[in-house]
Amino acid sequence: MANLKEVRNRITSVTSTQQITKAMKMVSAAKLKRATNAIVQLRPYATKLREILAQVSASVEGNDSPYTQDRIPTKVLIVVVTSNRGLAGAFNANAIKTTNNLIATKYADQFARGDVSIIAIGKRGHDFFSKREFNVIGNHNELFNNLDFENVSKITEYVMEQFKEGNIDRVEVVYNQFRNAAVQILTSEQILPLLPDNKEDEDVAELDYIIEPSKEKIIEELIPKAIKIQLYKAVLDSHASEHGARMTAMDKATENAGDLLRQLKLSYNQARQAAITTELTEIVSGAAALSNG
């Protein structure tokens, strides 16, 4: 059985760790509230924007937008959204695993030719892919220091320009879609080329809009906006999912620390009882020896 000093040191260490995990849980809970508000407010806007785009596009014959040209995916770009920090359970590992599976199953030929590129949003994803046989062309770890639409749009504009020039034929984004603090859904979405959503076309077919100056001009403005909103929504989803995953992980770690403390205190009491019993036995034995002498 471990001696008393070792058990005491272990109890002190676990108690300190429990205090840290409890504090991190509270910090993540506060950040989760702000991140959740951001994504919840954006979703209706993004949905309505896609509905309007679908309706207007359906009424225009021919669409020569460079961002809707569906080409053979010879060169592929994957945007991977992770976090800058760990201690979030399997949050980052799942995003990385989903990206690897996407490449292995859908773009294996392109990867073998070296035609798969990666833009990493988040230090964890960047560190993983840059240390392996991947062509990482973008590092945007600083994005989470000031997460807003303008900063995310800079990434989207670069991607759109590369697609427009023909340097990239398809762009997909991999991220954790936020459902609640305990549930994050791994998602991969195609953001370029922007393809029409047939379901949305059917849903909004009966709607009528007063359009100025023209349908063609509106489509020209809406398509880049829709692409930017799509990536922005993915980053906000991932940001909220990160804090939800970290809060859940820290809550579980705090519970585990509590269970471990109970076991350690039981061991401590047993060791202390054994030590007291030994001391009493020695005293009694000594007293008996003296009386016999």
Asked whether residue 210 carries a pLDDT value surpassing 70, the answer given is no
Kindly write down the DSSP assignment for every residue of 190-250, as one continuous string: EEES----HHHHHHTTT-----SS-HHHHHHHHHHHHHHHHHHHHHHHHHHHHHHHHHHHH
Using CA atoms, how far apart are residues 149 and 120, in angstroms rounded to an integer? 17
Q: pLDDT tens, 31-84?
A: 898 899 989 899 888 888 877 777 776 555 556 678 888 888 899 999 999 998
Q: Is residue 133 part of a domain?
A: yes
What pLDDT does 226 receive?
87
Q: What percent of the chain stands above pLDDT 70?
A: 88
Q: Is residue 273 part of a domain?
A: no
Q: Is residue 163 part of a domain?
A: yes
- Quote the pTM value: 0.82
Q: pLDDT tens, 226-280?
A: 889 999 999 999 999 999 999 999 999 999 999 999 998 888 888 788 778 877 8
C-alpha dihedral (217, 218, 220, 222), degrees to nearest 10: 170
The answer to whether 92 and 124 are in contact (CB under 8 A) is yes
Which candidate, 37, 12, 60, 192, places its Cα nearest to that of 119?
A: 192
Q: Name beta bridge partners: 121.
A: 81
Q: Is residue 11 part of a domain?
A: no
Q: Is residue 229 part of a domain?
A: yes
Q: Which three-class secondary structure string do you get for 241-270?
A: HHHHHHHHHHHHHHHHHHHHHHHHHHHHHH
How many distinct structural domains can be found in the chain?
A: 1
Q: Is residue 277 part of a domain?
A: no
Q: Is residue 262 part of a domain?
A: no
Using CA atoms, how far apart are residues 236 and 169, in angstroms rounded to an integer? 25
* Residue carrying the six token digits 């009424």: 59
Q: Is residue 147 part of a domain?
A: yes
Q: Which residue has the higher pLDDT, 64 or 7?
A: 7
Q: Strands, DSSP E only, in the chain?
A: 76-81, 116-121, 135-139, 170-180, 183-192
Give me the domain span that covers residue 114: 28-197+204-250
CATH of the domain at 99: 3.40.1380.10
Compute how many other C-beta atoms are within 10 angstroms of the C-beta atom of residue 194: 25
Q: Which residue has the higher pLDDT, 212 or 27?
A: 27
